[in-house]
Structure 1
Amino acid sequence: MGKWTAIVLAGERPEPDMFALANGVPLKALIAVDGEPMISRVVRAVLAAPSVGRVVVLAQDPARLIAAGTEWMATDGRVTMLPARSGISASVAAVAGSAEAPYPLVVTTADHALLRPEMVEGFLAAAGGADVAAAVVERRVVERGHPGTKRTWLSFRGGKYSGANLFALATPASARALEIWSHVERDRKRTWKLLSFFGPLILIGATTRTLSLKQAARIVSRRFGLRLRVVPLPWAEAAIDVDKQADLDLVRRIVDQGKVYVGAATVGAMVRFTALVTAAMTT
């Protein structure tokens, strides 16, 4: 059994989800992609990653997630379903390090419908040695694979990046990251507010594009006393989650066409990343 615990976030707002209802289900996590609810696809993907031994699903009312296509999660001994709190950071902090969710933790979301085991393995292999790690995808990789995709981009010297909804909380020290995140999660889609929280060096460096992604990670690490790593992934699909109908249409089209785009800044980078994934998947 793998040593990592995967947390899948499936929280919902208290008001009715009109996007979900328009797709014939009460919750976004239950929207079907290729005939399977998104949350089922995500949980299956993380369980198929050799490094992951168990999954914790967090939702306001976990019982509502058990429906056609997700019944197996209620009986699979590797899956635990727990009630979420009112925010992402509070929900994860409430279970992190508990008997149900021991460290190390990898966190993703129920709407990451294109997640695949090799993405999880590659990310965890590259995140080794960090307290906290976050996956990103460079804009050119995403747009070469799927032109016209609308994402939130963070600009740095050398490229623009979108989050990939994969986070590693590898050690108890990562509790500090959850505390920090509790102050910024409301602004996570508002680029400048998010950057300004991390200090003027980050904000100015990103605004002028004089700061690289690695330099920004080092500054944040020193400021908060954490070993932070940002991991660029070579899969365009890793940056695509489902927030709106256009996202869902794109995801369904990608799945129907079997279209997967893998890019990298250099051939050498792709070779090194492939080696990491291969080693992680075969050990």
Structure 2
Amino acid sequence: MSGWTALILAGSRPGRDAFAEEYGAKFKALIHVCGTPMVTRVTQALLGSGSVERIRVLTQDPVAIADVLPQESRVMLGVSQGSIAQTLEHVMADPETRFPLLVTTADHALLDPGMVEDFIAKAQGADMAIGLVEKTPLMQRLPATKRTWLKFRGGAYSGANLFAFATPEAMKAVELWRGVEQDRKKGWRMIAALGPALLMGSLLRLRTLQQTLDKVGGKLGLNIRAVEMGDPLAAVDVDKSEDYVLVTAILEGRT
């Protein structure tokens, strides 16, 4: 599969963004890390991938974002909706949207072309794929880091802010996501929304991550794949001040 469309989610929550203001930015996507806005870094990483043909940056403030994006014909701006799930539903329902879609976020400041290519290669053939990092390699690389972990038989995983949607049919998974996205940092609530059997299977670690996704996919009629990223830094985004300090240290070669 070739000709991927990449979506960069660069929206902001309603009201003041205290985290962005701390670093002199209007909203999080515009925070400079080592002198470059995060959304610019993510766009450059996607432009460096040989598999990505076009990039759509989705935000509530296209004018502010436009000023920091590379002047490249493959990069386009769009308006995001009220939430991540609503934004994805809107894009996937648009007959002009070209699949497959690769979705990431503007705060993925460590994203690089190698991570993008690794994810796309491993996502081939699935209706939907979710990028994840297993706890062991990440803790070996960054022993002091704090992440949200989903625990299963065989390992604990943190999200890598990388998703693949091969066809419009994958919208069924987004509809499910919309019902629990307010609890995206509370892994057990997300699993509970899929049914008591899956919740107990996770709590007791009766199933592996892929077995759990197979169950979810069976309910939705989709082939959903867990993509374990080769680079554990794929799990590190910039969501708070501690992340900013860590990512800056990594980019400067101090960590």
Q: TM-score range by the shorter chain?
A: over 0.9
Question: Aligned to 2:196, which of 190, 196, 200?
Answer: 200
Match of 1:12 in 2: 12
Residue 66 (structure 1) shift: 3.2
Question: Aligned to 1:117, which of 107, 113, 116?
Answer: 113
Match of 2:251 in 1: 255
Match of 2:213 in 1: 217
Q: Which runs of 5+ in 1 are unaligned?
A: 260-283
Match of 2:40 in 1: 40
Q: Distance in 2 between matches of 1:66 and 1:258?
A: 32
Q: Distance in 1 between matches of 2:214 and 2:12?
A: 34
Which 4+ residue blocks in structure 1 deviate beyond 6 angstroms? none
Residue 97 (structure 1) shift: 5.9
Question: Aligned to 1:103, which of 99, 102, 125?
Answer: 99
Question: Aligned to 1:135, which of 131, 134, 138?
Answer: 131
Question: Aligned to 2:79, which of 76, 79, 83?
Answer: 83
Cα displacement string for residues 255-278 of structure 1 (whole angstroms, at most 9, x for unaligned residues)? 00175xxxxxxxxxxxxxxxxxxx
- Cα gap change, 1:62/1:161 in structure 2, threshold over 3 Å: closer, same or farther? same
8 Å contact 1:97–1:103 — kept in the other structure?
Answer: no
User: Which amino acid is the alignment partner of residue 250 of structure 1?
Assistant: L
Q: Distance in 2 between matches of 1:147 and 1:99?
A: 46
8 Å contact 1:30–1:65 — kept in the other structure?
Answer: yes
Aligned to 2:81, the other structure's residue is in SS state coil
| Count of aligned pairs | 254
Residue 96 (structure 1) shift: 2.2
Q: Distance in 1 between matches of 2:157 and 2:232?
A: 11
Q: Distance in 2 between matches of 1:42 and 1:202?
A: 34
Q: Distance in 1 between matches of 2:243 and 2:65?
A: 21
> Normalising to structure 1: TM-score of the pair?
0.86
8 Å contact 1:5–1:56 — kept in the other structure?
Answer: yes
> Normalising to structure 2: TM-score of the pair?
0.96
Identity percentage of aligned residues? 45
Match of 1:272 in 2: none
| Structure with greater helix share of residues | 1
Cα displacement string for residues 213-256 of structure 1 (whole angstroms, at most 9, x for unaligned residues)? 12111111111111110111121110001110000000000000
Residue 100 (structure 1) shift: 5.5
Aligned to 1:257, the other structure's residue is in SS state coil
Aligned to 2:180, the other structure's residue is in SS state helix
8 Å contact 2:102–2:164 — kept in the other structure?
Answer: yes
Match of 1:57 in 2: 57
